[in-house]
Amino acid sequence: MKPETIVKLRDAFTLAADALQDELESQAIKTTPSEAIPDLSMIVWKEKAGPKGLFELSEDKENPRFKELSDYLNAHNGKTHISGYFLWKFENGSIGRKRKA
């Protein structure tokens, strides 16, 4: 392959890589905190028994991670699946979770 052909290919790949990087950065800017999946391990959970069996409950309302999860649930109609758990929001603002079977 001729050196000028290699230079042209390098330049084309550099332009393509730059365009891809710009696209990735523009998509990252569009991602809001409510779209980010909350870290469940940073929230205090207590085991409880309900009419459908055992589940975990969090009332850790002062925790910023709890607030993120609460906002995330609000954006998903009060229930969702994250990291192998089904999560739901109670009317009093508490959050329940149960391992998916």
Domains of the chain by residue range: 3-30, 36-99
**What integer is the mean pLDDT of 50-55?**
92
pLDDT tens string 58-89: 999 999 999 999 999 999 899 999 989 999 99
Looking at the DSSP bridge assignments, the partners of residue 82 are: 85
* Residue 75: Cβ within 10 Å count: 12
**What integer is the mean pLDDT of 27-42?**
68
| 80 φ/ψ angles, rounded to the nearest 5 degrees | -165, 175
**What integer is the mean pLDDT of 21-42?**
68
Distance spanning both ends of the chain, measured CA to CA: 58
Q: What dihedral do alpha carbons 60, 66, 67, 73 form, nearest 10°? A: -120
- CA 40/CA 48 separation, integer angstroms: 17
SS3 of 74, please? helix
Residue 34 has pLDDT above 50, yes or no: no
What is the chain's mean pLDDT, rounded? 86
